Amino acid sequence: MSLFAHYLSLPYLLQGIEVTLEVTALGLGGGLILGLILAWMQLSRFWWLSAFARGYTVIFRGTPLILQMVFAYDALPHIGIKLPAIIAAGLALACNEAPFIAEMLRSGVLGVDRGQVSAGQALGMTPSVLLRRVIAPQAIRTMIPAFGNESVSALKNSSLASVIAVQELTLRSTQLASSTFDFFSIFFASGLLYLLLTGAVSLIQLFLEWLLDLDRAKKDRKFADYLPWRRVDLVAGAEPSQEATLDAVPAPEVAILPPAPTLTRDERTKRAVTIARNNIAVEVSELRKSYGAQAVLDGLGLTVRIGEVVALLGPSGSGKSTLLRCINHLESWDSGTVRVGGRRLGFRDDGRLLSPREVANERASVGVGMVFQQFNLFSHLTARENIAGPLRWVHGMTKIDADRRARELLDRVGLSHRADALPRHLSGGQQQRVAIARALAPNPSVLLLDEPTSALDPELVNEVLEVIRRLAIDDGLTMIISTHQIRFADEVADRVAFLSGGAILEEGPAHEVLTNPKYPLTARFLSVMEADKAPETVR
Amino acid sequence: MHKWLSGETRRGSLSWRRAVLGAIVATGFLAPVGAQALPAGCAALAEKYPDWKGKTLVNAINPHTPGYESIDPKDPSKYVGFDIDLGEEIGECLGFKLTYKAVTFAALLTTLASGQADIVISDIYATEERAKAGDFITYSKVFDGVLVAKGNPKKITGINTSMCGAAAAENTGYVEVPLIQALMPQCKAEGKAEPTLQLYDNNANCIQAILAGRADTYVNDVNTVDNAVKAYPDKLEKAIAVTIPYSVGIAVPKDKPKFREAVHAAVMEIYKSGDQAALLKKWGLDPNNLMEPGLLMVN
């Protein structure tokens, strides 16, 4: 063991490290490229691409790396491909790493909340924008620990290249041990050298995690927090608990918004007459869709005029959400037509389906905004960026214009003081107000709201309803709202449609349907809803 | 001859070469031994076989056998040993240079067959089985030694029924492996326990297996066994030397008969000139190993 230090600094072994790093770099770099291709194939719309990628994964994940190395080195020359040893080792390692990296990428992508993907689509993002701006930034953050693991394992796996004469650290150590008979000092030295290398990988991983930590910008997170002996809760640790407690009290914030005027009966009648003369904004006819034997939409028809607010009521599963998602073509349907502003969104003039990218562009140009039950804010972006980002990426606005527009809208929903907050630091009501602001940013012609208050705690419902009420009365925005808030529907909606079994059972002026339903089913539903919920404190 | 073996001449010739070839040497290449007197017939051979003149060929070796081929402990960027010197001299005789590719013993012939190496000079015993993968130019007799722990606690006397019940360490691909396997039915017939085989991928691991008490014996080339005893005189000893019916051979690709012819002729010159005997002496190997070069080929 006396020669331990001598071996530790022996140039012969240090050069071995160089080769080890070369093979590892080739393996990881090549593995990343191949892995990206494989993950893309697996997530592709085309089954044969996905099947090919699956086959590859089965073969290369299911056979030992040492065989793959020998194959790349000894078998490929028989078909005329004679690679230098380091390249052959790098190739085998890359081919072996690829399926593992592909699975990491795939789980990273699939791990991104589907709601955010829907929100991005509804905002008119093309698949590539969605991938670059929403999915990748979030997926990469979650993949860093796994990628750290993979790097360490690739570094250690590179030692198998010793079987094909690559002069890396392990091969050099065994050769040295054979010639000197000094077995243990040499292997302790080479073990320590490997530890230093893998330790460096771990440090890089921690540094990247810190670098990409969303709370870093707020100076709440120091790099030292990532060291293992610091017991900082990295998920909740940066939660500004004081602020969150304040946010939970809605009263002062709602007060910031001037109360919306309530319409008198005369004003309502006048409004109804005006709307009746307006052009048609959304026209749904004979819409049918079923999941297997279960019909979700059963020949549904609905016409909404410009400036009109329609409330969709009905029990869960009656097709409200599906109808809304069909209107902006987030979902496909079996038969029937949907026209928004006179256009069949998602179809060519000859009736054929558009590609996902073309649908996205059309959504952006027709202007159908959507607000989701679960808010679906992009969780890696601040409130301001949630609004400004899509304006830049989809509508090509400059940063200055987009930021100005975001400030205006945040001000309008009473959240200008939380512009730099991440969604997870906002209360549910605040998140939904940001989501409404985001949907309004590109000036949509129609706003679809899918149970916008159902996921909120009761005390947070009002601040959101208040914002929606103002949109209807002050801005005259065309809206289709699915809701369980009967009283709110009565006050804000011009018309109510009661859905049951995927079709409209009863529709008409809001007050009339809600106070005097024609069908027993409607009456029963309304009485259950009224009994269930204490009267809302909506003005 | 004396001049060639004199250390001074070698050092002198290497020092300027080192200056010139420093970079190449650092990456594992070896400078040829230098300007010494070549066997008389070499000039004629170089003329008769001009195809390899000025070429650089790849020699696949398993550099875990000190005395035959291992890295130089003083300068690990170089390989040294009897086989290395022999190969260099063959190269000089025919006008080519050698670079080295270190592989496991079991991969020597596959490396040759896949074209990743041009020649194998690595203390490999020429057997008919192996001759299916490459043609052999035989150049040395084989004497095996039986390495055991100090005091030979299992009283092993060779590859015979004294090995029944013992654990034998061997290198993957060594000819001793089937010989020990053949003992298994014999031991069984005598009502004794069968010997067990532990396969490792280099000499050092086999020796470590005895030192660690995992294996009772390791049968290999007698010179290798002697070197191991020299390294651990308190822990190891050579039980006995046994004769094995093989020769050591240089393997060349089966599809290059002309190359085989040329190498065979060069080895013959080296043998005849007395250089081969001198090399055995230089590396402390048993002079009884010397034999007239021959050929082993099967179809």
Lowest mean per-residue pLDDT among A214-228, B22-36, B210-224: B22-36
CA distance A14 to B56: 27
Q: How far apart are the first and last CA of chain B?
A: 39
Q: Which residues of B touch A165 (CB under 8 A)?
A: 60, 101-103, 107, 111, 116
State whether residue A17 sits within 8 Å of chain B by CB.
no
Q: Which of B210, B228, B245 is the last residue of a domain?
A: B245
pLDDT tens digit sequence for A106-156:
999 999 999 999 999 999 999 999 999 999 999 999 999 999 999 999 999
How far B63 CA lies from chain A's nearest CA (Å)?
6
Q: Which amino acid belongs to residue A206?
A: L
pTM of the model: 0.76
Q: How confident is the model at residue A1 (pLDDT cuts 50, 70, 90)?
A: low
What does DSSP assign to residue B61? E
Beta pairing class for B119-126 and B217-221: unpaired
CA distance A303 to A295: 21
Q: Is the pLDDT of residue B29 over 80?
A: no
Lowest mean per-residue pLDDT among A293-307, A453-467, B50-64: A453-467
pLDDT at A255: 42
Same domain (yes/no): B12, B128: yes
Split into its structural domains, chain B has a count of: 2
Q: How confident is the model at residue A241 (pLDDT cuts 50, 70, 90)?
A: very low
Same domain (yes/no): B165, B241: yes
Q: What is the DSSP string of A158-195?
A: GGGGGGGT---HHHHHHHHHHHH--HHHHHHHHHHHHH
Half-sphere exposure of A390 (CA within 13 A, CB side): 33
Average pLDDT over residues B275-283: 93
Q: Is the pLDDT of residue A536 over 60?
A: no
pLDDT at A224: 74
Q: How many other CB atoms sit within 10 Å of the CB of residue A48?
A: 9
Same domain (yes/no): B108, B35: yes
Name every residue whose Cβ is closer than 8 Å to that of residue B47 and which is 6 or more positions away in sequence. Answer: none
Q: Chain-wide mean pLDDT for chain B? A: 85
CA distance A386 to A422: 9
The DSSP H or E segment spanning A265 is helix A265-277
Average pLDDT over residues B188-202: 91
pLDDT tens digit sequence for A43-101:
888 899 999 999 999 999 999 999 999 899 888 888 888 888 899 999 999 999 999 99
pLDDT tens digit sequence for B76-115:
889 999 999 999 999 999 999 999 999 888 889 988 988 8
Q: Tell me if A181 and B115 make a contact (CB, 8 A cut-off).
A: no
Q: Tell me if A179 and B70 make a contact (CB, 8 A cut-off).
A: yes
Q: Tell me if B204 and A73 make a contact (CB, 8 A cut-off).
A: no
Q: How many other CB atoms sit within 10 Å of the CB of residue B83?
A: 28
Q: Tell me if B115 and A77 make a contact (CB, 8 A cut-off).
A: yes
Surface-to-core class of residue B78, CB atoms within 10 Å of its CB (0-12 exposed, 13-18 middle, 19+ buried) = middle
Q: What is the DSSP string of A445-460?
A: SEEEEESTTTTS-HHH
Chain A nearest-CA residue for B106: A163
Same domain (yes/no): B26, B165: no
pLDDT tens digit sequence for B148-157:
999 999 999 8
Q: Tell me if A181 and B64 make a contact (CB, 8 A cut-off).
A: no
Same domain (yes/no): B121, B9: yes
Domain that holds residue B192: 143-245
What does DSSP assign to residue A260? P
Residues 61-80 of A with CB under 8 A from B: 70, 73-75, 77-78
CA distance B169 to B224: 14
Q: Which amino acid belongs to residue A409?
A: L
How far B274 CA lies from chain A's nearest CA (Å)?
27
The partner residue sitting opposite A165, judged by closest CB among B26, B73, B101, is B101
pLDDT at B235: 93
Tokens of A131: 């991938």
pLDDT at A217: 64
For testing the chain A interface, which of B25, B30, B78, B116 should be mutated: the one with the most A CBs within 10 Å? Answer: B116
pLDDT at A316: 86
A380-407 in b/e form (b: 16+ CB < 10 A) is bbbbbbbbbbbbbbbbebeeeebbebbe
Average pLDDT over residues B164-188: 91
CA distance A280 to A445: 11
How far B111 CA lies from chain A's nearest CA (Å)?
6
pLDDT at B17: 42
Average pLDDT over residues A226-245: 56
Which long-range contacts does B7-11 make (Cβ < 8 Å, 24+ apart)?
A: B9/B34, B9/B36, B10/B34
Same domain (yes/no): B179, B56: no
State whether residue A185 sits within 8 Å of chain B by CB.
no
The partner residue sitting opposite A180, judged by closest CB among B63, B65, B73, is B73
Q: Tell me if B76 and A172 make a contact (CB, 8 A cut-off).
A: yes
Q: Which residues of A touch B113 (CB under 8 A)?
A: 74
Q: Enumerate the domain spans of chain A.
A: 4-226, 248-532
pLDDT tens digit sequence for A171-194:
889 888 888 878 888 999 999 999
Short-list A425, A423, A432, CA closest to A379: A423
| φ/ψ bin of A163: left (φ > 0), alpha (ψ from -120 to 50), beta (otherwise) | alpha
State whether residue A171 sits within 8 Å of chain B by CB.
yes
Q: Tell me if A171 and B102 make a contact (CB, 8 A cut-off).
A: yes
How far B165 CA lies from chain A's nearest CA (Å)?
28
Q: Tell me if B202 and A174 make a contact (CB, 8 A cut-off).
A: yes
Q: Which amino acid belongs to residue B266?
A: A
Lowest mean per-residue pLDDT among A130-134, B58-62, B157-161: B157-161
Q: How many other CB atoms sit within 10 Å of the CB of residue B13?
A: 16
Q: 3-state DSSP call for residue A237?
A: coil
**B282 or B29, higher pLDDT:** B282
The CATH number linked to B195 is 3.40.190.10
Q: Over pLDDT 70: what percentage of chain B? A: 88
Same domain (yes/no): B35, B77: yes
**A534 or A508, higher pLDDT:** A508
How far B152 CA lies from chain A's nearest CA (Å)?
21
Q: Which residues of A touch B66 (CB under 8 A)?
A: 178-179, 181
Same domain (yes/no): B59, B85: yes
CA distance B63 to B84: 10
Tell me which CATH homologous superfamily contains domain A4-226: MetI-like (1.10.3720.10)
Short-list A128, A130, A150, CA closest to A61: A150
pLDDT at B52: 92
Same domain (yes/no): B110, B149: no
A175 alpha carbon, distance to own chain's centre: 52
Average pLDDT over residues A476-498: 90
Q: How confident is the model at residue B219 (pLDDT cuts 50, 70, 90)?
A: very high
For testing the chain A interface, which of B100, B111, B120 should be mutated: the one with the most A CBs within 10 Å? Answer: B111
How far A150 CA lies from chain B's nearest CA (Å)?
27
For testing the chain A interface, which of B64, B99, B114 should be mutated: the one with the most A CBs within 10 Å? Answer: B114
Q: Which residues of A touch B231 (CB under 8 A)?
A: 181
Same domain (yes/no): B48, B113: yes
pLDDT at A44: 86
Q: Tell me if A174 and B204 make a contact (CB, 8 A cut-off).
A: yes
State whether residue A372 sits within 8 Å of chain B by CB.
no
Lowest mean per-residue pLDDT among A129-143, A298-312, A343-357, A446-460: A343-357
Q: Assess if CATH 3.30.110.40 describes domain A248-532.
A: no
Beta pairing class for A446-450 and B56-61: unpaired
Q: Tell me if B72 and A179 make a contact (CB, 8 A cut-off).
A: yes
Q: How many other CB atoms sit within 10 Å of the CB of residue A232?
A: 15
Q: Which residues of A touch B111 (CB under 8 A)?
A: 74, 165
Q: Which amino acid belongs to residue A62?
A: G
Q: Tell me if B116 and A74 make a contact (CB, 8 A cut-off).
A: yes
Surface-to-core class of residue B2, CB atoms within 10 Å of its CB (0-12 exposed, 13-18 middle, 19+ buried) = exposed
Q: How confident is the model at residue A252 (pLDDT cuts 50, 70, 90)?
A: very low
A428, A419 in Cβ contact below 8 A? no
How far A134 CA lies from chain B's nearest CA (Å)?
48
Chain B nearest-CA residue for A75: B114
